[in-house]
Structure 1
Amino acid sequence: MSVSTSTPRDGVALVTVDHPPVNALPVHAWYELAEALTAAGRDPAHRAVVLTGAGRGFNAGVDIKEIQRTAGHSALLGANRGCAAAFAAVYECEVPVIAAVHGHCLGGGIGLVGNADALVATEDATFGLPELDRGALGAATHLSRMLPPHLMRPLYYTGRSVTARELHRHGAVWALAEGPHTLLETAFELADRIAAKDGLLLRLAKEALNGIDPLDVRRSYRYEQGFTFEANLSGVSDRHRDAFVDAPAAEGAER
């Protein structure tokens, strides 16, 4: 299993992704994550969920190697639908979700944190969408929930990463942790404050906030994914993915 759930605090579930070496997830793991988040939110004992990643970083997106070694389009379509399911599970989780990030948060990782209710991170955590360098399009929907458009767009076009400290200045990060050793405690501080509220009212509040959200994240992200598949059919995506897989330093994948 790439995803585990525990209850380290009263009313708080901890969902941890652990898929070495860099938490670049294959298709099945995206669905595992979606199921774990949905189950954690549905449990009446939980009033908040903390989502984090084990190992070297929070999330490095999809496993591009899986896509390139699978004949046809099944792995690409599976990754598209798996990502959509996991992102929606964060957004539609019945209780607030706090993303706790250290190391890298790339591609699909942005889809997860951009749909969370709050974000805490180590000061040196990095966030980016290297989509254009990987022959893909997507997760601008979620980056746009974190940053103003004239910052989001050049970051998307260039693929440049930003640090958690930069995001904190723009109000996207609730709190900064000194390092990985204090990250979860920082997340639990917020989770405990949330979990102290009435569980029914929290669930109603989450549904109400989603209901007044100006952006339909499901529709918007699926619209973006259509352009990913168009790029794939044109052949340009394979060229970029092959270049990434063949690079000597390639250890994982992002999207």
Structure 2
Amino acid sequence: MGIVTSRPESHIEVVTVDFPPVNALPVRGWFDLAEAIENAGKDPDVHAVVLRAEGRGFNAGVDIKELQRGTGYEALVGANRGCYAAFGAVYDCAVPVIAAVHGFCLGGGIGLAGNADVVVASDDATFGVPEVERGALGAATHLARLVPPHLLRTLYFTARTVGAGELLGYGSVYRVVPRAELDEAALDVARDIAKKDTRVIRAAKEALNGIDPQDVHRSYRFEQGFTFELNLLGASDEARQKFLDDKDT
């Protein structure tokens, strides 16, 4: 349980997220994930990274229970910094990152998938940002990389989700496959990348990031400021507690 790395075949690093029951990551988990991806990119023998998850879904965001257990804002600051580190690690990884998404991909999951270089999804995968129902803002930066502008706003304001099949039509998801075939589909893309000259691929990754029209680091940090503001107003704490209370009833 936690963040597990493996090397199933030459030049491909697989990073697996496993935080039962729903892969809602604690603060330490986000930093561990960032470290695993950064280390993979630094290894000259790694030519591609597959980011996947065990369990019911790819990622359910931050561990809200951890936030509610804490006093003051230490846990919130930790979650903000941890997410920033993990999302940035995916984006800045020296080699391409292929996200293999199954089940739900929510909140922090959007930050990971939206910053990945390639997204492969199972046919049961859904994507969305329920932040407004949790008293927070964030990951619009990354959702904007997956859906058109007006759909982004609709999903953001309503907290609704969109299926992998629709994202396939937008081109933000590369392939949609049955869940049992997801890992192999992600590895298939990784193999295609890994067999190429890694010096060229690493240069290409840096070049593509350099011409990206959106500074994902700055825009996400801007979003986080509003989340902290909502916490100061008490709105976030009320929304998080209501979510937890509703789950227990």
TM-score by length of 2: 0.98
The one-character-per-residue Cα deviations of 1:17-55 (angstroms, maximum 9, x if unpaired) are 001000000000000000000001111111100000111
Could you say which residue in structure 1 is the equivalent of 2:20?
20
Q: 4+ residue runs of structure 1 moved beyond 2 angstroms? A: none
- Structure 2 letter corresponding to 1:177: V
The one-letter code of the counterpart of 1:72 is G
Partners in 1 of 2:41 and 2:61 — Cα distance? 23
The alignment covers a number of residue pairs equal to: 249
Alpha-carbon offset, residue 246 of structure 1: 1.2
Distance 2:173 2:114 in 1: 11
Aligned to 2:60: 60
Aligned residue in 2 for 1:36: 36
Residue identity in the other structure for 1:40 = A
The unaligned stretches of length 5 or more in structure 1 are 251-255
> Is 1:101 equivalent to 2:110 in the alignment?
no
2:195 match = 196
RMSD over aligned CA atoms reads 1.0
Q: Residue in 2 aligned with 1:2?
A: 2
What letter is aligned with 2:243? F
CA distance in 1, matches of 2:46, 2:150: 38
Deviation per CA, 1:195-216: give whole Å up to 9, x if none: 1110111111100100000100
> What SS does the aligned partner of 1:49 have?
strand
Contact 1:124–1:165 (CA under 8 A) maintained in structure 2: no
Separation (CA, whole Å) in 1 of partners of 2:122 and 2:148: 22
Which residue of 1 is the match for residue 158 of structure 2? 158
Match of 2:80 in 1: 80
The 3-state SS of whatever aligns with 2:4 is: strand
Give the Cα separation in 2 of the matches to 1:186 and 1:231: 41
Aligned-pair identity (%): 62
Distance 1:147 1:248 in 2: 29
- The correspondence of residues 162-241 of structure 1 with structure 2, limited to 5 A, is 162-179=162-179, 181-241=180-240
- Does 2:93 match 1:90? no
Alignment CA distance shift 1:249-1:173 (3 Å): farther
Query: 3-state SS of the aligned residue for 2:50?
Result: strand
How many Å separate the matches in 1 of 2:216 and 2:9? 30
Which runs of 5 or more residues in structure 2 are unaligned?
none
What residue is the counterpart of 1:246 in the other structure? 245
Shift in Å at residue 178 of structure 1? 1.1
Q: Which residue of 2 aligns with 1:131?
A: 131
Shift of 1:126: 0.8
How far did residue 11 of structure 1 move?
A: 1.1
Please state how far the C-alpha of 1:177 moved relative to its aligned partner. Answer: 1.3
TM-score, normalisation: structure 1: 0.96
Q: 1:68-107 CA distances to partner (integer Å, 9 max, x unpaired)? A: 0101000000000000000000000000000001111100
Q: Shift of the alpha carbon at 1:248?
A: 3.0
